[in-house]
Amino acid sequence: MAATRRITININGVSTSHEVEPRLLLVHYIRDMVGLTGTHVGCETSVCGACTVMLNGAAIKSCTVLAVQADGEEVLTIEGLAQGEQLHPLQEAFWECHGLQCGYCTPGMILSAYQLLLRLPRPTEKEIRHGIEGNLCRCTGYQHIVDAVQQAAGQMRARR
């Protein structure tokens, strides 16, 4: 076992600090050390996107990023998206449009969509489908997810 290292990561606006092995994956840091279990592991190979979180404003797959690489950085997980009890428009829209069934891919899917909408506030269906192609969902066939992202885009534009 290699020597541990102390890292500090701001997660959802809260500073967290732990001694970690350099090989510890960011997703395991978030889930097992910080205890935020909304970020899921689906493939361990950055294909399925279930582990997607925002690292300094960019969606990344936390199953293939080391926790030490996020030292001193800012992470947003699904738990940080709602404002208290007030759901984010994306969460609201996924609910409204039935954009989830088993819910396992949902946190990662929502955060990928979140990044997409930051970049493209008015995405076409094609852009949405392309934008979430790094996130696999086995339940929904994606159609209601696409609808949800479109609906959320409208909500987010209206908010601005």
Partner 1 sequence: MPLSRLVGARVKRREDPRLVRGLAHYVDDVRLPDTLHVAILRSPHAHARIRSIRVEEASKAPGVVSVVTGIDIRDSIGPVPVVAQNPTLRVPLHTVLAVDKVCYVGDGVAAVVAQDSYAAQDALDLIQVDYEPLPVVSDPEKALAPGSPVIHSEWPDNVAFRWTLKQGNLAKAFRDAYRIVKQHLVHQRLAPIAIEGRGVLARYLPGEKELTVWSSTQIPHLLKTQLSIMLRQPENLVRVIAPEVGGAFGSKLNVYAEEALVAYLSRTLNRPVKWIEERRENFQATIHGRGQVGDVEIAVKKDGTILGLQYRAIADIGAYHQLLTPGIPPLTGLMLSGAYKIPCISMEVTGVFTNKMSTDAYRGAGRPEATYVVERIIDRVAQELGIDPVKIRQKNFPQRRDFPFKTATGLIYDSGNYRAALSKALKLAGYEKLRKEQKRLRNQGRYLGIGLSTYVEISGMGPSAAMPAGGWESGTVRVEPTGKVTVLTGTSPHGQGQETSFAQIVADELGVDLDDITVVHGDTAVVTSGIGTFGSRATAVGGTAVLQAATKVKEKARKIAANILEANPVDLVFSGGKFAVKGVPKKGITIQQIALEAHLATNLPKRMEPGLSATSVFEPSNFTFPFGTHICVVEVDPKSGEVTVKKYIAVDDCGKVINPLLVDGQIHGGIAQGIGQALWEGVVYDENGQLLTGSLMDYALPKAKDLPRLELARTETPTPVNPLGAKGVGESGTIGSTPAVVNAVVDALAPFGVVHIDMPLMPEKIWRLCRSKDAADRRG
Residues within the interface to partner 1 (CB under 8 A)? 1, 21, 23-24, 31-32, 35-45, 47-48, 50, 77-79, 81-82, 87, 91, 94-96, 98, 100-107, 110, 125-126, 128-130, 132-133, 135-146
Residue closer to partner 1, measured from CB, 9 or 146: 146
Report the distance separating Cα 4 and Cα 84, nearest Å. Answer: 35
Both structure tokens of 42: 């689906």
Residues 104 and 42 sit within 8 Å (Cβ to Cβ): yes
Cβ nearer to partner 1, comparing 7 with 72: 7
User: Token digits for 127?
Assistant: 């852009």
Q: From the CB of 39, what's the least distance to partner 1, in Å?
A: 7
What's the min distance (Å) between Cβ of 21 and partner 1? 7
In the bound state with partner 1, the residue whose beta carbon lies nearer, of 9 and 108, is 108
Nearer to partner 1, 41 or 115 (CB): 41
User: Which has the closest alpha carbon to 132: 151, 149, 156, 157?
Assistant: 149
Q: Tell whether the torsion through CA atoms of 66, 78, 93 and 122 is positive or negative.
A: negative
Shortest separation between residue 147's beta carbon and partner 1, angstroms: 10
Residues 6+ apart with CB under 8 A from 42: 48, 49, 50, 51, 63, 104, 105, 108, 136
